[in-house]
A = this chain, B = another copy of it.
Amino acid sequence: MAVQTAGNTTNPGTTNATTVDLGPAAALSCRECGHRVPLGPLFACQECFGPLEIAYDFSAYETEELRKLIESGPANIWRYAPLLPVPADVAGKPNLNPGWTALVKADNLARELGVTGGLYVKDDSGNPTHSFKDRVVAQALEAARAFGFTTLSCSSTGNLAGAVGAAAARAGFRSCVFIPHDLEQGKVVMAAVYGGELVGIEGNYDDVNRFCSELIGDPAGEGWGFVNVNLRPYYAEGSKTLAYEICEQLGWKLPDQIVVPIASGSQLTKIDKGLQELIKLGLVEDKPYKIFGAQAEGCSPVSVAYKAGHDVVRPQKPDTIAKSLAIGNPADGPYVLDIARRTGGAVEDVTDEQIVEAIKLLARTEGIFAETAGGVTVGVTRKLIENGALDPTLTTVVLNTGDGLKTLDAVAGTGLTATIRPSLDSFREAGLV
């Protein structure tokens, strides 16, 4: 099938760092030792092997000037371009333009859970490929453009494959996505339809990841931007936009409590980073907030460590229906533990049965059909209220990061309430009136 190749045609990987325009992004900085290097397709510190993240220069705008700029921006993540590692003219480039998804005031759910302080669901199923992954891939795409890459790649077991395939198609990049060869046919179709290369690897997700790391170091991978490997520092920043949107949609206010799913833990750490930035920039009032992490019991390494009082996370072999959260060795686990403890939050987990119940609860009360990850956050919210860790009198935001249409199997038991003949007599007999 025809795959378009387009974009910057300079020799990939040789772009001079000083010519890279990624807006307020000033450098890469090691989260562990603080060592700074110029912006480039790097993800690990050369000094201490710690994770690199973006260091910004936000001095270009005064607070109220920045607020006005954001409020007059497009109804997508690019309204926050001044706070992201992207060029100022990003909104004019071909991109899926995700974000600015609904923050739903969930009054029916609040009644069921006993929340009186205001309950909101941040519903990221409204993104172009119906998961929050569109936010992070959009950042990685701009970095790939800046570094002269022409192929967008990733390892994935689902949502990310579709997000990368779609974004590459829109932007005129070649895409090559690696997945375990025995993935469910439905998920293969969702990723393959965008027409990029979709390669099945004989092995499990760990084998796929290992292969991708090899490929980055090989000439065969030259010119390739792996969104969640060599572009990870840029990619990860996309999750900050969840924090920005929630606060702006609350009228430039911090929520009191926020419940976030944990896969690698990156999303939770970046939401915290985003909230901190808004405070420092004066866009919201500085006040305490609590961040809660949510896992499935069948993949709960961070929750287990939190409850045991540990600082390190012991890897698990995942076994849960919440496949999009099934990372047994979460890279950002220790940072998540730190944030949950520092903010007065917690990390909790729920069983697969509780996940399914929570998916149905959210659908029945608010008309939102969440994927299993959304069942995890709603289920954990309920559990945190029951065990007293979450205060129901405070403003609470629960994240739904994906769409129920992608994990239909989880609620496959749901069905007809009655079957009748096409007659009023038969209808009356069914006892529905």
Binding site for B on A (CB under 8 A): 1-4, 75, 94, 96-97, 100, 102, 107-108, 126, 128-130, 162, 165-170, 172, 176, 181, 185-186, 188-190, 192-195, 197-203, 207-208, 210-211, 214-215, 218, 220, 359-360, 363-369, 403-406, 408, 411-412, 414-424, 427-428, 430, 432-433
Copies in the complex: 2
Q: Pick 24 A–B contacts, CB within 8 A, sort by A.
A: A4-B365, A75-B75, A108-B172, A129-B367, A129-B369, A162-B369, A166-B368, A167-B367, A168-B367, A176-B432, A181-B419, A185-B415, A189-B412, A190-B405, A193-B360, A193-B363, A197-B417, A198-B415, A201-B421, A202-B421, A210-B422, A211-B422, A218-B424, A220-B427
State whether A199 touches B420 (Cβ < 8 A): yes
Contacts of A194 in B (CB 8 A): 363-364, 367, 369
Contacts of A218 in B (CB 8 A): 424
CB nearest neighbor in B for A193:
B363
Contacts of A190 in B (CB 8 A): 369, 404-405, 408
State whether B411 touches A207 (Cβ < 8 A): no
State whether A416 touches B192 (Cβ < 8 A): yes
Contacts of A4 in B (CB 8 A): 108, 365
Contacts of A128 in B (CB 8 A): 102, 126, 367-368
Contacts of A199 in B (CB 8 A): 416-420, 427, 430, 432
CB nearest neighbor in B for A405:
B405
Contacts of A201 in B (CB 8 A): 419-422
| Binding site secondary structure of chain A | mixed
Shortest beta-carbon distance from A431 to chain B in Å:
11
In the bound assembly, the distance between CA atoms of A352 and B428 in angstroms comes to: 40
In the bound assembly, the distance between CA atoms of A214 and B423 in angstroms comes to: 8
Contacts of A207 in B (CB 8 A): 422
Contacts of A406 in B (CB 8 A): 405
* Interface-centre pick from A167, A208, A408 (highest chain B CB count, 10 A): A408
Knowing A102-B97, A432-B199, say if A366 contacts B418 (CB, 8 Å).
Answer: no
Contacts of A210 in B (CB 8 A): 422
